[in-house]
Structure 1
């Protein structure tokens, strides 16, 4: 499952690098792709949904170290996974976590750029790493439900 994590990481980083330096999104400004979808530049100094915003170096490093620790734990879990599906879901999360972790180390914040909205409703701004993480967590939930409540007791 190493390849799944690597492909997710490469796609995430390539999209961010292109938008930052190829397209120059910071100066180009928001781009309307569809009436409900814009490409915008948001520097997320927190975690999911912008929670726990960290403006100082200490907070940034705590989040970075937490990301490394969680990623190592998830990778160990994926290597020991009993099914390919579970290993795949964990690899998606690992690839996304590494992608966002690289941003945090390189820029001090995570690069987010996809913005869905409908009328006055605005969904949070996210990136491909976030998509991989959410898909992986959905896979973990599905695996847990599919396995049934008695699996943990064995």
Structure 2
């Protein structure tokens, strides 16, 4: 990414903060992430790490579509997919959490990790997000693959 793209992604992400200037200052001077409210510019679907990483691999297989911003929390072993806000959405699945309006998520700056928080795919500043239908299909496919592989690992 160029410096201009990094700046654009910082501005885009910080716009979700209650105080964007304080958010950017904390990213520049602090060591951690900041809490940003979901539901205004984006929602987050958080899934267990094995499911999320496999689903992301599946999403990368679509040659004409680059996956949207994706965050990993290595301490919690979860992957968060940023997608358009949808208050009517009902994401259902074992270990799946839909974070929309009224939910908060710790987010590192797009240019570096913050402790266990790291961008697998940082926001590009254009507002591009994961699309709900391809994400849901990838999660279903990944879940099916993991269901088949799990009994093999129990020997």
Asked whether the two chains share a fold, i.e. TM above 0.5, the reply is no
Query: Which one has a larger percent helix, Structure 1 or Structure 2?
Result: 1
TM value normalised by structure 2: 0.29
Taking structure 1 as the reference length, the TM-score comes to 0.29
